[in-house]
Amino acid sequence: MLDSLKKLVPELGFSNVRVKDPQNVEKAVRTMMKDAQHKLQVIADFDWTLSKYSEDGNLCNTTHSVLGESKRMPEFYRKETKRLKEHYMPIEFDPSKTREEKIPKMIEWWSKNHALLKSCDLTKPQISTMVSESRARLRDGCKEFFHQLHTVEIPLLIFSAGLGDIISETIKQRATFYPENMKIVANFLEFDEMDKVIGFTGEIIHTFNKNENAVHSGDYFSNIRHRENLLLLGDTLGDLGMAKGADNIECILKIGFLNFKVEENLDVYMEHFDIVIVEDESLAVVNGLWQPVKDLQFLNFSSQALILSVHPFASCSVPWRLFLSVLLISFLAQTASLHFFGHIGFNFTPSQNVLLVHIAGGQFNQVISQARYSLGFVSQIPASTVPVPATVVPDTKGSSSGIGHQARQAGISQSLQQRQLRQ
């Protein structure tokens, strides 16, 4: 079963990747492929999940250690935060201790750290400078991950027990922060009118209370209730509680980054995460995992229609283009084991080298996702540029009422004009 999964997501065959139940993971990936981007949401921890654990043999900064190791901070702060970390961090990652045993210690750690910070006369401009001078690094591929999620409007909730201001500044400096689809829930600093730190906003968020935060009782998850598929990324067992408020989830993939003490923690990580990524400083597996979903980003679900630009046909005569297009449609039908007639309609505009495909019923995703592996020469025009033809309305039985020729021609022409303007 793992071989089948690796064909679907080659990155899951990497030597540092462990998959608990290949059959369930493949089922989840195929569900996400079927539903495409419209039903997907992502929740991710930040420190050592979206950010690197190490680089070139050196430990990378967490959001707290950006300040704790900066020479711009007072010496008493640096010494005391180091002492606190050496005392409490082993408790956080001790597999022999229960969650209930760890929680009081985490509250102690965060409370002491925050009290120290308030006494440092820290300002906003100093934070920006310290981030730029720090060893805080996003994982390789993280910038592209953010960009693709933004492109297809998939919400990303960054849920962290770290410092929200450091998270925001790190992303802005190392990648791009997209407020349209990205939300950060973390410990945010409170500033006075002179931009000086005077405390923190809200209650303390620590590693093991992410399931109790106000985001779960707010309207964030209720506003995206239709997004029933969830990709969850974390590096501690406490991160599993981040999805507590998303009570409508039908399909979830939990990915755990095991950054250190692999032998001690691998078994417990395998017990709780679907996929465990061992000592990897990239998002290659994550990007590979949602590649099949991303490839379906241009599907227009309201019309079940897809426009294809058939580039290799450009040098052919018009009759040959039409003939090759028929073969292409036939191949798409056979790929999904469909009967050709009554299930797929198409219209080809030879002068514009464009093919409009309409597939009836619920087989649309299956056709394109399977054809993806065989048709490297087919490119998609974003569905956002394609107006929904008025005559393309699936009936209640899942069949199609057809595609009107004039509506198709208008849709294709308008799509091409808009694409040319953007280029």
- Say whether 280 is catalytic: no
Q: What's phi and psi for 242, nearest 5 deg?
A: -60, -25
Compute the chain's Rg from CA coordinates. Answer: 25
**3, 21, 45, 239: the active-site residue:** 45
285, 16 Cβ separation under 8 angstroms? no
Write down the residue that tokens 């310290």 correspond to: 130
**35, 47, 165, 274: the active-site residue:** 47
420 Cβ contact list (under 8 Å, min separation 6):
none
Cα–Cα dist 327/365, whole Å? 19
89, 108 Cβ separation under 8 angstroms? no
119 Cβ contact list (under 8 Å, min separation 6):
77
Cα–Cα dist 50/234, whole Å? 8
Sheet of strand 344-349, all strands in order from the earlier edge strand to the far edge: 344-349, 354-359, 305-309, 379-380
Cα–Cα dist 400/78, whole Å? 67
- Say whether 247 is catalytic: no
Q: What is the full DSSP assignment across 132-196? A: HHS---BPBTHHHHHHHHHHTT--EEEEEEEEHHHHHHHHHHHS---TTTEEEEEE-EEE-TTSB
List of E strands, 49-125? 54-55, 58-59
Q: Which residues are part of the catalytic machinery?
A: 45, 47
